[in-house]
Structure 1
Amino acid sequence: MSLADFPITQRWPAAHPDRLQLYSLATPNGIKVSAALEELGLPYEAHKISFDTNDQMTPEFLSLNPNNKIPAILDPDGPGGKPLALFESGAILLYLAEKTGKLIPDDPAGRYHCIQWLMWQMGGLGPMFGQLGHFHYFVADKVKDPYPRERYTVEAKRMLAVLEQRLDGRPYILGDDYSIADIAVWPWIRTLGGFYGAGEITGLDKLANVQRWFADCSERPASQRAISIPS
């Protein structure tokens, strides 16, 4: 089996079929995988999945991810040397880390702690920030009931407090080493205070540990490249 056997390559042909294929957009979830790929130095080819033209709803994209969300990947050199198709940003981060043996601790306890914080982002911080962004930024002029915005503001503040406490005395979420846990959380903090404009209502600017950690993550060359991938 080769990449040509996957329908998605008919719409987005692989110029370099020997490289990992990334189907994405520079949203928080998309940036996660781009940042990991840049940190790891894996050869890859990025394809833009445009929401403006509903690329995520095309039969070709749905053949790779039936959940019609970015990012998704095709790795021509998957387990056993066979191509692997994968969606969900958390699963992709875990796969890339384990494939390379980087950005995740080697010891079992450390590995599970890393997965723990990755799941925390996937199941809590990301969805809650996304809902806050929806009601605070996207439909603020359409939804007059203050409850949804207040509800997700409170939850976002709670999760930021968890992160602030976790980073007390630690350079990164796991401790001394940068990991996929940091990569998963960082783009969402960036979007909360930037694109969503919700930094003030969540008290983000007052969280010293989060701000210090966020600045460090943002200054990494891989992070700076990732925010513009795909171009």
Structure 2
Amino acid sequence: MIDVYSWPTPNGHKIHIMLEECGLAYRAIPVDIGAGDQFKPEFLAISPNNKIPAIVDADGPDGKPISLFESGAILLYLAGKAGQFLGNTVREKYETLQWLMFQMGGVGPMLGQAHHFRIYAPTKIDYAVDRYSNEAKRLYGVLDKQLSKTAYLAGDHYTIADIATFPWTRSFANQGIDWADFPHAKRWFDEISQRPAVERGVKVLADLRKPLNDANAKDILFGQQQYAKK
């Protein structure tokens, strides 16, 4: 049994979807990031960067429990454990890894900033809104170009690169994206949306999430509590 410490965010959904796709037994343990659960000592013990998701697998590689944080590392671990979604050859593996790194280094951080400055920032900063909205469009352009040539990001097979990227594109409207400008990415998005495991994965913990309009929750997520010594 794998314990998944998570919340219904794009990074959390990556792992929920992967577990559903692999058919691995798991238990989702909510970490309410708006309430500050991510700063509790028991969570920091497995996720020292105070970010979700994190996992504890009672049946680790050597038969002993293993804990992991960082969604990309968790996806790689689960792909290895299940023997799925990482490509069937060495070439396919590295093609998958480059697109996974693209998500981790570009799509997640930049779209996260677009969300923040377009939706959550207490003061509208035109420069920041323009910068990250334009970067979001650039990144969708990269996805669209690739997906004009291949069925999935790393080629003809669905991989952890798609599983990592898809949840971030579910908030396309908040990122200032018009799907009409990215038809190949939209085709990919629609196909993945209809996968049964994806439909199940995005529902995990979803009933617990509330609109982020509480001042205390915003302070926990974006204010000084983030920077206090833990």
| Short-chain TM bin | 0.7 to 0.9
Residue 177 of structure 2 aligns with which residue? 202
1:202 CA displacement: 3.2
Distance in 2 between residues matched to 1:150 and 1:189, nearest whole Å: 19
Residue 26 of structure 2 aligns with which residue? 44
Residue 180 of structure 1 aligns with which residue? 160
Contact 1:38 1:225 in 2 (8 A): yes
Instruction: Note if 1:189 corresponds to 2:135.
Output: no
Residue 59 of structure 1 aligns with which residue? 41
Distance in 2 between residues matched to 1:210 and 1:221, nearest whole Å: 20
Contact 1:133 1:192 in 2 (8 A): no
Letter in 1 for 2:180: D
**1:226 aligned residue (190, 198, 201):** 201
**Structure 2 unaligned blocks of 5 or more:** 208-230
Q: Greater CA deviation, 99-108 or 58-67?
A: 99-108
Contact 2:172 2:178 in 1 (8 A): no
Distance in 1 between residues matched to 2:57 and 2:131, nearest whole Å: 40
**2:116 aligned residue (134, 150, 157):** 134
Instruction: Note if 1:116 corresponds to 2:65.
Output: no
Q: Deviations over 1:112-153 (max 9, x none)?
A: 1111100100011110000000010112xx324310010011
1:170 CA displacement: 1.8
**Structure 1 unaligned blocks of 5 or more:** 1-18
TM-score (norm 2): 0.86
Contact 1:129 1:192 in 2 (8 A): no
Letter in 2 for 1:178: Y
Q: Please give the residue correspondences for 1:22-171 in structure 2 after superposition, counting only pairs within 5 Å.
A: 22-139=4-121, 142-171=122-151
Q: How many residues align?
A: 206
TM-score (norm 1): 0.86
Contact 2:117 2:124 in 1 (8 A): no
Residue 223 of structure 2 aligns with which residue? none
Contact 1:23 1:49 in 2 (8 A): yes
Distance in 2 between residues matched to 1:37 and 1:26, nearest whole Å: 14
**1:215 aligned residue (190, 207, 223):** 190
